Amino acid sequence: MTEHYAVRMRKAVHVFCAGHFITLTDTLCEPVHGHNWTAAAEVEGEPDAHGMVIDFILLRDQLAAITTRLDHRMLLPTQNRFLDVTTAEVAPGRGEVTVRFGDRRWVFPADECLLLPVANTTAEWIARWIGCELLQAMATRGQPIRGTLRIEVDECLGQSAVWERRVTSL
Ligand SMILES: [Zn+2]
**Tens-place pLDDT, residues 105-142:** 999 999 999 999 999 999 999 999 999 999 999 999 99
Q: Does residue 89 sit within a domain?
A: no
pLDDT truncated to tens, each residue of the chain (170 aa)? Answer: 789 999 999 999 999 999 999 999 999 999 999 999 999 999 999 999 999 999 999 999 999 999 999 999 999 999 999 999 999 999 999 999 999 999 999 999 999 999 999 999 999 999 999 999 999 999 999 999 989 999 999 998 899 999 999 987 65
The reply to whether 38 falls in a domain is yes
pTM of this prediction exceeds 0.85: yes
State the Cα–Cα distance between residues 85 and 76, nearest whole angstrom: 8
The answer to the question of residue 91 being in a domain is no
CA distance 45 to 129: 21
Domain count, the chain: 1
Residue by residue, what is the 3-state secondary structure of 75-99? EEECCCCCCEEEEEEEECCEEEEEE
Residue 40: inside a domain: yes
Structural domain includes residue 97 = no
| CATH code: domain of residue 138 | 3.30.479.10
Whole-angstrom CA distances from 37 to 10, 19, 20, 127 are 11, 10, 11, 11
Q: How many whole angstroms from 53 Cα to the centroid of ligand 1?
A: 33
Residue 87 Cα to ligand 1 midpoint, Å, equals 23
C-alpha to C-alpha distance for 34 and 52, rounded to whole angstroms = 37
**Which pLDDT score is estimated for 27?**
94
CA–centroid distance, residue 154 to ligand 1 (Å): 10
* Residue 41 covered by a domain: yes
Please check whether residue 36 is in contact with residue 17, taking contact to mean a CB–CB distance below 8 angstroms. Answer: yes
Alpha carbon of 34 to ligand 1 centroid (Å): 6
Between the CA of 127 and the centroid of ligand 1 the distance, in Å, is 14
What's the 142 CA to ligand 1 centre distance in angstroms? 35
Distance (angstroms) between ligand 1 centre and the Cα of 75 equals 10
**Domain contains 143:** yes
The amino acid occupying position 77 is P
Give the type of residue at 53: V
What is the signed CA dihedral for 152, 158, 159, 165, rounded to 10 degrees?
Answer: 20
Q: How far is the CA of 42 from the centre of ligand 1 (A)?
A: 23
Share of the chain above pLDDT 70, in %: 99
User: Of 81, 94, 103, whose CA–CA distance to 23 is shortest?
Assistant: 81
Write out the H or E segment, with its range, that includes residue 4.
none
Domain that holds residue 36: 6-75+116-167
Residue 42's pLDDT is what?
98
Q: What is the pLDDT of residue 169?
A: 60
